[in-house]
Amino acid sequence: MTAVLDAPEQVGAIPSFTVTLRVMRYLPGDDGVTPVAHWDEFQVLCHGTDRVLDALHKVKWEQDGSLTFRRSCAHGVCGSDAMRINGRNRLACKTLLKDLDPSKPITVEPIKGLPVIKDLVVDMEPFFASYREIMPFLITTGNEPTKERLQSAEQRERFDDTTKCILCAACTSSCPVFWTDGQYFGPAAIVNAHRFIFDSRDEGGAQRLEILNDKEGVWRCRTTFNCTEACPRGIEVTKAIQEVKRAMITRAF
Amino acid sequence: MTTVADPKAPRPPRAKPSRLTTRGNTELYGWVFMRASGVILLVLIFGHLFVNLVAGEGVKAIDFGFVAGKWASPFWQVWDLLMLWLAMIHGTNGVRTIVNDYAERPGTRLVLKSLLYLAFVITVVLGTLVIFTFDPCPSGSPADLLPSFCTAS
């Protein structure tokens, strides 16, 4: 009954609006007959500070509990919620609704090129298989040193950009070459190879270059820059791929 | 009671990657060739266009005699042969990568690439044959259509 409560509300007022989410739904049937994927529309009341992930949460918690998507940290670090929002690969937890023109329906689809399991959840196994193939771990020879493996700031800077990868698959699933048959290693695997190839402490560079020299390796890159544009971490993916290509050429000639 | 796997037991061997590994520098050389031949073709093609269409009397000079005169010189034979081979390999390799990128079924790929290689072989063999066996002075032709160095027969 006092006016005290009203005042702060006015000051910190956040604009709220209703957005329409068009979500690609996919539910494989138990009988083996796969129903066709279809679009579902949801009206959600959202605030100016809400992200696409918040809107999806509201749908799941208040409207349709069967809506399925992956998310873990919800703050752009775990890389679980990469999806195709308004036709572009982004993290749902890093995309603000107000940046997407909320007056129009916002389309949400699973990332392309990987088999869909349910709704927005895709099978990441082909993606991780390529990742494992480039041996994403330190390879050294000789005895293990008793202290840290030292490295100068410049040596660290050489591969700093590619250490930022969170393996969300936004880049690989935005690559048109990957869409065709899924045989291409994909930008993410090459980025993570780059992280070790240019690490001064690592001695497996030649092995990794040999792996990526494959018919389905870096030479299938068409430099369309889709990966660089899709990366939610701002990694210059295409540049990293080109650097791996250059390392191979200088090694061969 | 469910049995939990012994954490110290050796792990099962890693599943073999689904893709067939095709190591080797073939794709690397292909990639470098595309860049190198592209630069050389720029010079060859624009040189060809300039000599045929701009230099001297320009486009009006082109007739049987003009072409025959050019191919009588080893310089233009080598020039045209290089242009033919580089352009055909460059173009065929480019279309091959496009087929690889866009054809999804292995059968489609095989058919398209077979047609491509067939066209390549026919064009290159025919073109090479013409450049080397070209007769600038066929007998029994009117002299005004032939290059100037032909002795009238």
Answer yes or no: is A2 within a domain.
no
Answer yes or no: is A66 within a domain.
yes
The CATH number of residue A222's host domain is 1.10.1060.10
Does B27 lie at the interface with A, CB-CB under 8 angstroms? Answer: yes
- Please give the pLDDT value at position B133: 87
Q: In angstroms, how far apart are the furthest CA atoms of chain A?
A: 83
Give yes or no: residues A41 and A104 share one domain. yes
CB half-sphere exposure, A11, CA atoms < 13 A = 5
Give yes or no: residues A164 and A109 share one domain. no
Give yes or no: residues A247 and A192 share one domain. yes
Report ipTM for this prediction.
Answer: 0.78
Please give the full DSSP string across B73-130, using - where no structure is assigned. SHHHHHHHHHHHHHHHHHHHHHHHHHHHHH--SHHHHHHHHHHHHHHHHHHHHHHHHH
- Please give the pLDDT value at position B64: 84
Q: In angstroms, how far apart are the furthest CA atoms of chain B?
A: 106
Answer yes or no: is A6 within a domain.
no
Instruction: List the domains of chain B with CATH numbers.
Output: 29-138 (1.20.1300.10)
Considering CB atoms only, which of A181, A219, A222 is closest to B104?
Answer: A181
Q: Which residue has the tokens 């030292």?
A: A150
Evaluate whether B103 touches B112 at the Cβ level (below 8 Å).
yes
Extract the tokens encoding A198. 């240019």
CA atoms of B153 and B137, how far apart (whole Å): 9
* Residue of A242, A248, A208, A207 lying closest to B25 (CA atoms): A248
Which of A215, A216, A226 is the best residue to mutate to test the B interface, defined by the most B CB atoms within 10 Å of its own CB? A215
Considering CB atoms only, which of B17, B25, B104 is closest to A133?
Answer: B17
Does B35 lie at the interface with A, CB-CB under 8 angstroms? Answer: no
Q: Which residue has the tokens 């392309």?
A: A112
Q: How many angstroms separate the CA of residue A215 from the nearest CA in chain B? A: 6
User: For residue B4, is pLDDT > 70?
Assistant: no
Give yes or no: residues A110 and A157 share one domain. no
> Which DSSP symbol is given to B68?
H
Considering CB atoms only, which of A129, A213, A220 is closest to B18?
Answer: A129
Question: What are A107's strand-pairing partners?
Answer: A22
Give yes or no: residues A130 and A229 share one domain. yes
Say yes or no for a CB contact (<8 Å) between A248 and B28: yes
Q: Could you read off the pLDDT of A106-162 as tens digits, one per residue?
A: 999 999 999 998 899 999 999 999 999 999 999 999 898 999 999 999 999 999 999
Give yes or no: residues A196 and A243 share one domain. yes
Range of the domain at A206: 125-142+150-252
Task: List, as own/partner pairs, every contact residues B131-140 make where C-beta atoms lie below 8 angstroms and the sequence separation is at least 24, other chains included.
Answer: B131/B71, B131/B77, B131/B80, B131/B81, B131/B84, B132/B77, B134/B68, B134/B71, B136/B68, B136/B69, B136/B71, B136/B72, B137/B68
CA atoms of A244 and A194, how far apart (whole Å): 7
H-helix or E-strand spanning residue A22 = strand A16-25
The CATH number of residue A54's host domain is 3.10.20.30
According to DSSP H, which parts of A147-225 are helical? 153-157, 176-181, 187-197, 205-212
User: For residue A192, is pLDDT > 90?
Assistant: yes
User: CA-CA distances (angstroms) from residue A251 to A193, A201, A209, B40?
Assistant: 16, 19, 9, 24
- Please give the pLDDT value at position A13: 76
Answer yes or no: is A9 within a domain.
no
**Strand, helix or coil for residue A163:** helix
For residues A165-171, give the mean pLDDT. Answer: 96
Say yes or no for a CB contact (<8 Å) between A214 and B23: yes
Evaluate whether A241 touches A166 at the Cβ level (below 8 Å).
no
Give yes or no: residues A69 and A159 share one domain. no
Extract the tokens encoding B118. 């067939």
- Please give the pLDDT value at position B56: 78
Answer yes or no: is A89 within a domain.
yes
Answer yes or no: is A114 within a domain.
yes
Number of domains in chain A: 2
What residues of A are in contact with residue B25 (Cβ under 8 Å)? Answer: 213, 252
What residues of B are in contact with residue A220 (Cβ under 8 Å)? Answer: 27, 100-101
Give yes or no: residues A19 and A79 share one domain. yes
Does B22 lie at the interface with A, CB-CB under 8 angstroms? Answer: yes
Say yes or no for a CB contact (<8 Å) between B22 and A214: yes
**Closest residue in B to A253 (Cα–Cα):** B29
- Report residue A181's pLDDT band, with 50, 70 and 90 as the boundaries: confident
Dihedral, CA of residue B106, residue B110, residue B111 and residue B115, to nearest 10: 150
Is the model more confident about B104 or about A55?
A55
Say yes or no for a CB contact (<8 Å) between B101 and A217: no
- Please give the pLDDT value at position A146: 93
Q: What percentage of chain B exceeds 70 in pLDDT?
A: 84
pTM given for the model: 0.84
Give yes or no: residues A74 and A129 share one domain. no
Q: What percentage of chain A exceeds 90 in pLDDT?
A: 79
Which of B16, B19, B34, B99 is the best residue to mutate to test the A interface, defined by the most A CB atoms within 10 Å of its own CB? B19
For residues B116-130, give the mean pLDDT. Answer: 96
